[in-house]
C-alpha cells in the first residue's frame, strides 16, 4: 500500500509533509501527478491482519507522539503566498482529520481512494451524480428504501431512469440491460431479507457493457466482505452503521481503485459540500478501532439467535445467510470470508399486527430504525410500511412488502442467552 507526501509550507516555516494514502483525494488546482509525487516508504504493512489495520491504519504517529489522531477544527488555512498549492486551504476541500479517516477507510476496503461524506445518503447521492441525462441504471428490486426513492422520484426529473430486477437472477439482469445502461446498483446482503447476490458475476456484466458497478456494503461491513476484490468499481457505506458502531454519528463513504473515479468523487465531495465534520471524522475513526471485536461478538450472537429462531415452531421463516439452509449460503460463504454479518430477520404467523406486537414486547431489543450498533434493535418493516399507504403503493416490487409478519433484528453485543430469552418472552 503505497503512501504519498503532500508538501505544505507555512509562513516563515520549513516545508512540512502531510501523510495520506495514495490517491485519497486532491485539492483545488492540484494535479493527480503532483499529489502522487515524492512517494515515501510504506507505513501500512501489506502483511498486516485486518485487526491490526483497524488500530494502526489511519496514519503514521504524530510528531508530538500522540497515540490517537488529533482533531483539526480549522475551517481555513494560512497560505504562504497567493499561488501556494498547499494541501490544506479550505476545510471543505481537505482537512487533516478527514484525510486520516479516508486513508483508513481506503485500506479497510482494499482500495486506493476514499471520500468521506456526512451521511450514507450523501455518499449515495454523490455516486449517482456520475450519471447523466439519458442514462439508465439496473437496480436491485429489494434496494434500501431511500435509495429506491432516489431512483424512482428524484433521478427521473434529471432524465435518469432505472430498471428494477432480482439481481440474484443473472438472466433477468441481462434482460434488463439496454444500450444506455451505465450503472448496476448492488446491495448484498439485502435489507431486510438478507439475500445474497454474486458480486463477481455482476461486476463482469457491468464491465462487459462499459457500465459502473456499485455496491452498498453497509450490511456486510469491510470486516465481512470487500467488493473491490471481486472487480466492483465503487463501494458505498453508511458509516453510521457498523463502522461507527455506537449509534452516535452520521457518516458515509465511497471507495475505489480507479484514479479517474477518485478524482470525480473528490470533486463531488468538494462541490456538494456534504462532508463530515472533523469531530465526526475523529469519532468514526475511534469507532473503527473496535470493529473487529464488535463484529465477532455480534456475528456469534446473530448465529445463535438465528439458529434458535429456526428451531422455534412459532417462527415461519428465518432470513440469515449463516444458516446452512439459506438458499445462497455457499455463495455467502465464498464472498464473505469475514463472516455472515449480524442482521437477522424472521417471519411469524399473524401478519403485520403480530409482528408489531412482538416488536413492542421486547425489552433488550429496542424498537428503532438503523442498525450496526452495540445495542440490539428490532423493527417490523412491513408493519411500518403499512402505516403509509402511499409509500406502500410506491414500492410494489419490493419482496419484503409481501412478508407481513416480518421483524428485522440488528444484533448487538449483549449476552446471547439474554437476547434469546427476550425474544422468547416477546413471541408469547
Given pLDDT bands bounded at 50, 70 and 90, which one contains residue 340?
A: very high
Measure Cα distances from 388 to 121, 379, 384, 385, 408 in Å. Answer: 21, 16, 8, 6, 19
Per-residue pLDDT of 362-416, as tens digits, reads 999 999 999 999 999 999 998 888 887 776 676 656 677 789 999 999 999 999 9
Looking at domain 99-288, which CATH architecture does it have? 3-Layer(aba) Sandwich (3.40)
pLDDT of residue 39: 31
Catalytic residue among 216, 233, 280, 422: 216
Tell me the sheet residues that pair with 317: 347
* Among candidate residues 182, 190, 140, the one with its CA nearest the CA of residue 161: 182
Q: How many residues belong to the chain?
A: 428
Q: Is 397 known to be catalytic?
A: no
For residue 142, give every residue at least 6 positions away whose Cβ sits within 8 Å of its Cβ, in sequence order, or none.
166, 187, 190, 191, 193, 195, 398, 399, 400
pLDDT of residue 394: 67
Q: Is 17 known to be catalytic?
A: no
The residue ranking higher by pLDDT, 380 or 85, is: 380
117 φ/ψ angles, rounded to the nearest 5 degrees = -130, 170
Q: Is the pLDDT of residue 62 over 80?
A: no
Q: Is 216 known to be catalytic?
A: yes
Reduced DSSP (H G I as helix, E B as strand, rest coil) percent helix, strand, coil of the chain, to 5: 40, 15, 45
Q: Is 241 known to be catalytic?
A: yes
pTM metric for this prediction:
0.87
Catalytic residue among 26, 88, 141, 144: 144
CATH says 291-427 is which class? alpha beta
* Contact between residue 26 and residue 266 where contact means Cβ atoms under 8 Å apart: yes
The residue ranking higher by pLDDT, 165 or 30, is: 165
pLDDT of residue 415: 99
Q: Is the pLDDT of residue 96 over 90?
A: yes
Per-residue pLDDT of 231-287, as tens digits, reads 999 999 999 999 999 999 999 999 999 999 999 999 999 999 999 999 999 999 999
Element (H, E) at 406: strand 406-410
Catalytic residue among 3, 136, 182, 241: 241
pLDDT of residue 32: 35
pLDDT of residue 57: 81
Distance CA 200, CA 165 (A): 17
Domain with CATH 3.40.640.10 in the chain: 99-288
Per-residue pLDDT of 8-32, as tens digits, reads 333 333 333 333 333 333 333 333 3
Distance CA 75, CA 93 (A): 10
* Contact between residue 98 and residue 9 where contact means Cβ atoms under 8 Å apart: no
pLDDT of residue 61: 57
Q: Which of 34-48, 255-269, 293-307 has the lowest mean pLDDT?
A: 34-48
Instruction: Indicate the SS3 state at residue 207.
Output: helix
Percent of the chain with pLDDT over 70: 86
Measure Cα distances from 165 to 143, 184, 191, 230 in Å. Answer: 10, 10, 15, 21
Catalytic residue among 7, 18, 79, 92: 92
Domain with CATH 3.90.1150.10 in the chain: 291-427
The three cell numbers of residue 54 are: 483497524
Question: What's the whole-number average pLDDT of the chain?
Answer: 88
pLDDT of residue 46: 63
pLDDT of residue 81: 86
* Among candidate residues 256, 251, 225, 254, the one with its CA nearest the CA of residue 240: 251
Amino acid at each position: 500500500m503505497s503512501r504519498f507526501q503532500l508538501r505544505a509550507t507555512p509562513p516563515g516555516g520549513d516545508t512540512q509533509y502531510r501523510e495520506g494514502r495514495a490517491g485519497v483525494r486532491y485539492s483545488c488546482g492540484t494535479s493527480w501527478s503532483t499529489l502522487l509525487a515524492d512517494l515515501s516508504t510504506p507505513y501500512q504493512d501489506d502483511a498486516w491482519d485486518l485487526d491490526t489495520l483497524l488500530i494502526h491504519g489511519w496514519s503514521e504517529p504524530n510528531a508530538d507522539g500522540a497515540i490517537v489522531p488529533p482533531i483539526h477544527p480549522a475551517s481555513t488555512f494560512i497560505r504562504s503566498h497567493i499561488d501556494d498549492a498547499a494541501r490544506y486551504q479550505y476545510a471543505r476541500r481537505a482537512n487533516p482529520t478527514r484525510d486520516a479517516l479516508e486513508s483508513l477507510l481506503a485500506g479497510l476496503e482494499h482500495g486506493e481512494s476514499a471520500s468521506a461524506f456526512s451521511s450514507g445518503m450523501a455518499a449515495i447521492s454523490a455516486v449517482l451524480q456520475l450519471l447523466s441525462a439519458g442514462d439508465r441504471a439496473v437496480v436491485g428490486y429489494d434496494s434500501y428504501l431511500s435509495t429506491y426513492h432516489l431512483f424512482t422520484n428524484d433521478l427521473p426529473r434529471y432524465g435518469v431512469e432505472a430498471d428494477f430486477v432480482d439481481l440474484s437472477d443473472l438472466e433477468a439482469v441481462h434482460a434488463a440491460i439496454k444500450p444506455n445502461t451505465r450503472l448496476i446498483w448492488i446491495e448484498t446482503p439485502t435489507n431486510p431479507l438478507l439475500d445474497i447476490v454474486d458480486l463477481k458475476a455482476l461486476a463482469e456484466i457491468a464491465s462487459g457493457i462499459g457500465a459502473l458497478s456499485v455496491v452498498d456494503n453497509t450490511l456486510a461491513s469491510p470486516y465481512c466482505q470487500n467488493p473491490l476484490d471481486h472487480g466492483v468499481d465503487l463501494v458505498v457505506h453508511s458509516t453510521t452503521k457498523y463502522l461507527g458502531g455506537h449509534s452516535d454519528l452520521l457518516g458515509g463513504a465511497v471507495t475505489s481503485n480507479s484514479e479517474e473515479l477518485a478524482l470525480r468523487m473528490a470533486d463531488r465531495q468538494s462541490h456538494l459540500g456534504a462532508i463530515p465534520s472533523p469531530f465526526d471524522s475523529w469519532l468514526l475513526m475511534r469507532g473503527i478501532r473496535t470493529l473487529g471485536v464488535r463484529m465477532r461478538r455480534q456475528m456469534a450472537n446473530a448465529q445463535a439467535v438465528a439458529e434458535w429462531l429456526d428451531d422455534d415452531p412459532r417462527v415461519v421463516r428465518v432470513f440469515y445467510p449463516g444458516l446452512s439452509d439459506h438458499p445462497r449460503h455457499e455463495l455467502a460463504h465464498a464472498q464473505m470470508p469475514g463472516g455472515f454479518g449480524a442482521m437477522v430477520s424472521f417471519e411469524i404467523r399473524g401478519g403485520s399486527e403480530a409482528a408489531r406486537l412482538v416488536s413492542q414486547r421486547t425489552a433488550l431489543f429496542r424498537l428503532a430504525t438503523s442498525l450496526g450498533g452495540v445495542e440490539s434493535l428490532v423493527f417490523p418493516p412491513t408493519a411500518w410500511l403499512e402505516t403509509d399507504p402511499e409509500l406502500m403503493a410506491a414500492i410494489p416490487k419490493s419482496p419484503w412488502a409481501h412478508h407481513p409478519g416480518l421483524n428485522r433484528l440488528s444484533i448487538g453485543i449483549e449476552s446471547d442467552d439474554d437476547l434469546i430469552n427476550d425474544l422468547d418472552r416477546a413471541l408469547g
